[in-house]
């Protein structure tokens, strides 16, 4: 990847592909490179911590989250976004709740709390903050909700992402409705010439000892077409 080693947008896309293919060691090396390029981005901390977790290096993951929390509290990193704070807090708490017996840290204890959600958790990340797109979630009854990521529809959100340095969103699907949810994507374009990629991390049985994780990656190229990405169930599997 030497040809784009200094391009964090391209590096993030490569990390997505490696993660989807289960090559967590190489993905971790790429995420470390992105961290070096973007040391003040909230996303860099989360991605690197999660890649440590993929390698079962849970103490290193917890240490990185603790470091991020310290830098935010000391004012060295910006933290005024409910979106990224909620996601990072949930990631850290999930790590501690499931792997806390491996992690010895007095600083971490205050983050451990009972997970208030069980079901299917979807985390979407995109490699380029300039990408405009819509994610549509269709429930088993055919009703839908749309997350709009574009300057025209959500300028405040885009400004928040650039200020904080993040490009992700989570969606929680509880088990109140039986059946499958469908997730669709409509790509609207990008000011940059670099290809845009979307990563979807699907957690089933979230917050339980039987939690499972599945990573999918999609290239955002065909503009204006609402295409199906995947379907998920909200059931808690025993």
| pLDDT for residue 133 | 97
| pLDDT for residue 83 | 81
Higher per-residue pLDDT: 6 or 63? 63
Mean pLDDT to the nearest integer, 182-187: 97
Whether the per-residue pLDDT at 194 is higher than 90: the answer is no
| pLDDT tens track for 54-98 | 999 999 999 999 999 999 989 888 776 678 889 999 999 999 989
Query: What tokens does 120 get?
Result: 């299917």
| pLDDT for residue 81 | 64
| pLDDT for residue 129 | 93
Mean pLDDT to the nearest integer, 158-166: 92
Reduce the DSSP state of residue 98 to 3 states and report it: helix
Q: Are 195 and 221 in contact (CB under 8 A)?
A: yes
| pLDDT for residue 6 | 84
Whether the per-residue pLDDT at 203 is higher than 70: the answer is yes
Whether the per-residue pLDDT at 131 is higher than 90: the answer is yes
Share of the chain above pLDDT 90, in %: 71
User: Which of 16-20, 30-34, 97-101, 130-134 has the weakest average pLDDT?
Assistant: 97-101
> In sequence order, which residues have a C-beta less than 8 Å from that of residue 23 and are 6 or more positions away?
none
Mean pLDDT to the nearest integer, 31-50: 96
User: Which of 67-71, 106-110, 117-121, 234-238 has the weakest average pLDDT?
Assistant: 106-110
| pLDDT for residue 176 | 82
Higher per-residue pLDDT: 107 or 197? 197
Q: Are 83 and 166 in contact (CB under 8 A)?
A: yes
| pLDDT for residue 3 | 63
Whether the per-residue pLDDT at 201 is higher than 90: the answer is yes
| pLDDT for residue 80 | 66
């Amino acid at each position: 990847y030497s040809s784009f080693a200094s391009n964090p947008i391209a590096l993030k896309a490569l990390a997505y592909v490696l993660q989807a293919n289960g090559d967590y060691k190489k993905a971790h090396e790429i995420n470390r490179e992105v961290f070096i390029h973007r040391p003040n981005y909230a996303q860099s901390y989360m991605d690197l911590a999660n890649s440590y977790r993929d390698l079962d290096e849970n103490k290193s993951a917890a240490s990185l989250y603790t470091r991020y929390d310290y830098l935010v509290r000391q004012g060295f990193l910006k933290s005024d976004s409910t979106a990224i704070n909620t996601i990072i807090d949930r990631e850290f708490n999930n790590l501690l709740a499931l792997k806390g017996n491996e992690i010895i840290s007095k600083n971490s204890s205050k983050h451990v709390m009972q997970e208030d959600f069980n079901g299917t958790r979807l985390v979407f990340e995109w490699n380029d903050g300039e990408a405009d797109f819509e994610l549509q979630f269709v429930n088993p009854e055919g009703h839908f909700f749309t997350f709009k990521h574009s300057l025209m529809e959500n300028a405040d959100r885009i400004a928040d992402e650039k200020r904080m340095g993040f490009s992700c969103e989570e969606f929680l699907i509880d088990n109140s409705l039986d059946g499958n949810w469908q997730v669709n994507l409509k790509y609207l374009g990008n000011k940059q010439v670099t290809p845009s990629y979307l990563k979807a991390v699907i957690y089933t049985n979230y917050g339980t000892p039987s939690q499972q994780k599945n990573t999918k990656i999609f290239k955002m190229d065909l503009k204006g077409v609402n295409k199906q990405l995947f379907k998920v169930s909200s059931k808690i599997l025993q």
